[in-house]
Amino acid sequence: MPEDDEEKPDKRDEILAGAYAKTRKSLIARLDNWEDQKTWDEFYQIYWRLIYSVAVKAGLRSEEAFDCVQETILSIAKQSKKNLYDPEQGSFKTWLMNMTRWRINDQFRKRKKDTAMAGGEWEDERKTAMIDRIEDPNGDVLSRVWDMEWKKNLADAALARVKAQVSPKQYQIFDCYVMKQWDAKKVQDQLDVSMAQIYLAKHRVGSVLKKELAKLEDDAD
């Protein structure tokens, strides 16, 4: 039994990766022949996990959350094409949160409708309560979840960009010393590197990470 438990995270990652690829391919196809497909592909890669994570935490099942990701980004693409987003009305972060909130609600309504058509009942009080709180414009449940996931998503997106700009060895050193917070001696012994290499990697990779985080934050203002 323990072995099965250890395999579950890998299995989940495999399923998630497959669903991501399928949803991304479907999304790009649904963008028709827009000239900015590449831009939306990049947008998808940056924000899909944020939308997915918040949708799951709101109570959606994995497949529903992926539908939410696709519909949210399609809605944003269509609104952007019509220039419906006005930066003077608020930040992109808040706009994206609201777009995600509406698509989450759509998925709950679809589930309720499908359940009713199948002759079942909408009995999950916890999820009903969650959607009520999400729909409440004065509620801050989704906002708190969104803020937490937003920070994590920006950090992950920045790290992904950093990985493409530094050597695998330097990134590995940075990951162990800074991200995993190993002490310097352990990094030296485990990776067979010098103290100078550790501090050099910390400085160089850290500098690139700050720049990428700043870029992502500027884009989201």
Does residue 154 sit in the same domain as residue 202?
no
75 against 205, higher pLDDT: 205
- The neighbour count for residue 172, using CB atoms within 10 Å, is 17
Does residue 130 sit in the same domain as residue 190?
no
Domain boundary among 139, 164, 189: 164
What is the pTM assigned to this prediction? Answer: 0.70
Number of domains in the chain: 2
Does residue 8 sit in the same domain as residue 105?
yes
Give per-residue pLDDT as tens, 17-56. Answer: 665 566 555 555 555 545 566 777 778 888 889 999 999 9
The CATH number linked to 191 is 1.10.10
Residue span of the structural domain in which 185 resides: 167-221
C-alpha 98/C-alpha 164 separation (Å) is 32
Give per-residue pLDDT as tens, 108-154. Answer: 998 888 776 655 544 454 444 455 545 444 456 788 899 999 999 98
Does residue 93 sit in the same domain as residue 188?
no
Does residue 160 sit in the same domain as residue 93?
yes
Domain boundary among 145, 164, 183: 164
37 against 172, higher pLDDT: 172
Range 200-208 average pLDDT: 96
Does residue 81 sit in the same domain as residue 120?
yes
Give per-residue pLDDT as tens, 152-169. Answer: 998 998 999 999 999 999
